[in-house]
Amino acid sequence: MARVPTVTGMVEADQLGTTLIHEHLRNSDEAVHNQWPIAGAVKEDKPYEVSPDQVFEIAVREAKAAVDLGIETIGEPTAMFLGRDVEFMRRVSEETGLQVIPCTGIYTYDYLPQFFMNRDPDQIAELFVHDVEQGIQGTDIKAAFIKCAADEPGVNENIEKVHRAAARASVRTGAPIMAHSRPASNTGPRQVEIFLEEGVEPGKIQIAHTGDTDDLDYIEGLLEKGVWIGLDRYGLDIFLPYEKRQQTAKALLERGYADRIFLSADSVATTDWFPPNIIDGLIASGAAHDWNIRMVPERVLPELRDWGLTEEQERTMMVENPVRWLTG
C-alpha cells in the first residue's frame, strides 16, 4: 500500500479513511500578515475580528467538529498567497486527531511577484518538487499535492506559467494536481489541456470547483478527459445555490460518476479576505449560509442517503477516491 504525507507524518493510504478533499484551516494573506501583524483575521460568525490565538482555537474547534462527524482526514489546499503554514496545520492536527494533507503551489488568479515573473516554469517547478520531496518551510512535512488556480481573468500568460510548473512538478514527482477553476469563465477545459500537453496522467488531475456550475455538458466534457472533479463548495450559494449543487450531484451519480467526484465545502475556519461589514452582508444575504467544514457530513451526505445514495457510492467518493487521486 502506498503512503501519503500528512502534517504529522507519512500514513498508509488505507488509514486516510473518510476524507474531505478541500477544506482550509486558515486563510490569510501572508504578505499583509507579515507587514501588518495587527491586521485582524475575520470569521463568519460574531465576533468577527479575532486574535492569532483565536485563529488557532477556531481552527481546532472546526477540526474537532469534523472529527465528531466522522471525518478522519482533510485535504488542505492552502498554498502560497493563502497563508500556508504547515506548523499551524500540524498543531491543529495534533490537538484534534484530524489528519491533514498539505500541498505546495501558488494560488493566484493573475498576479505574480517579480520572483516568478522572471523565472520560467521549470525554475518554479523546482520549488514545488522541493516541497514534495524534501519538505515544506524548513520542516520534514512533505506536500502531497500541487495546487494552482484559474479564475475570472482566465488562463492568461501568468496562469499558464504556473499550470505548466505544476504539471512539470507532478510529472517529476508523481504528486497529483488540484486546480481551482471557474466554470463561469470556462477555465476547466484549457486547464486540463495544459496538463495533458505536459504529460500529466488524467487520473492525477482534479478540477476543483467544477460544482460551481449545473451545466452537465460542461461537467461531462471534463469527465470525458478522465480527470477528477470537485463538487466542493457546498454552502457558497454566492456561486451556485445549495439545491442546484445537490441536483447536479444526483444527476452525476445517476450517470455513474461516483468514482470521479469529490464532495467538500472549501470552507475556511477563519479568513482575512473581507472586513466584518462585508461578512455581515454575505451572511444576511444568504450568499454563504452554513458554509463550514460540517456541511458535507452534517447535511449533504444525509440528504443524499435519503435520496438513494448507496453505501458503496459513498465509500467510493469519501474514502476510495482520495486514495486513488493521491496515490495514482
Per rule CB under 5 A, is residue 266 in the interface with Zn ion? yes
Mention every residue, 6+ apart, whose C-beta is less than 8 A from residue 152.
109, 182, 184, 185
CB of 235 to Zn ion, least distance (A): 12
Distance CA 326, CA 230 (A): 14
Measured from the CB atom, the residue of 24 and 309 that comes closer to Zn ion is 24
Handedness of CA 252, 189, 104, 245 (dihedral sign): negative
CB of 319 to Zn ion, least distance (A): 21
CB of 72 to Zn ion, least distance (A): 20
**Within 13 Å, how many C-alpha atoms sit on residue 219's CB side?**
23
**Within 13 Å, how many C-alpha atoms sit on residue 225's CB side?**
25
Measured from the CB atom, the residue of 42 and 309 that comes closer to Zn ion is 42
CB of 81 to Zn ion, least distance (A): 12
Which range in 42-50, 124-132, 215-223, 262-270 contacts Zn ion by CB under 5 A? 262-270
CB of 233 to Zn ion, least distance (A): 8
Count Cβ neighbours within 10 Å for each residue of 214-225 and write b for 16 or more, e otherwise: beeebbeebbee
Amino acid at 226: G
Distance CA 299, CA 306 (A): 11
Specify burial of residue 114 (Cβ count, 10 A radius: 0-12, 13-18, 19+).
Answer: exposed
Which range in 62-70, 88-96, 135-143, 264-272 contacts Zn ion by CB under 5 A? 264-272
Which range in 1-9, 45-53, 112-120, 265-273 contacts Zn ion by CB under 5 A? 265-273
Size of the site for Zn ion (CB under 5 A): 1
Distance CA 11, CA 61 (A): 24
Which range in 146-154, 170-178, 263-271, 320-328 contacts Zn ion by CB under 5 A? 263-271
Per rule CB under 5 A, is residue 232 in the interface with Zn ion? no
CB of 101 to Zn ion, least distance (A): 13
Measured from the CB atom, the residue of 55 and 253 that comes closer to Zn ion is 55
Measured from the CB atom, the residue of 25 and 317 that comes closer to Zn ion is 25
Stretch (H or E) spanning 84? none
CB of 106 to Zn ion, least distance (A): 13
Distance CA 175, CA 205 (A): 10
**Residues from 295 through 324 that contact Zn ion (CB under 5 A):** none
Measured from the CB atom, the residue of 80 and 309 that comes closer to Zn ion is 80
Per rule CB under 5 A, is residue 151 in the interface with Zn ion? no
User: With contact defined as beta carbons under 8 Å apart, do 191 and 228 qualify?
Assistant: no
Closest-CA residue to 260 (of 226, 215, 221): 226
The binding track of 100-119 with respect to Zn ion, each residue x by CB under 5 A or -, is --------------------
The binding track of 188-207 with respect to Zn ion, each residue x by CB under 5 A or -, is --------------------
Distance CA 64, CA 209 (A): 25
Distance CA 160, CA 112 (A): 12
CB of 14 to Zn ion, least distance (A): 26
Amino acid at 110: D
Report the interface residues with Zn ion, using CB under 5 A: 266
